[in-house]
Structure 1
Amino acid sequence: MKTAIAVLLAIVVAIQATPQDKKIHFLCKPCEDVFKELEKYLPEIDKLTEEALDLGVDYVCKKVTLDIPFIDHVCDKLGDEAVADLYNYILTLDHYDPTACCKHIDCC
Structure 2
Amino acid sequence: MSADADCLFCKIVAGDVPATVVHETATTLAFRDINPVAPTHVLVVPRSHHPNAAALAAAEPTVAADLLTSAQAIADAEGISGYRLVFNTGADAGQTVFHAHLHVLGGETMGWPA
Q: TM-score, normalised by structure 2?
A: 0.34
Bigger relative contact order, structure 1 or 2, given CA contacts below 8 A and separation 6+? 1
Relative to its length, the structure with more helix (as a share) is 1
Relative to its length, the structure with more strand (as a share) is 2
Q: TM-score, normalised by structure 1?
A: 0.35
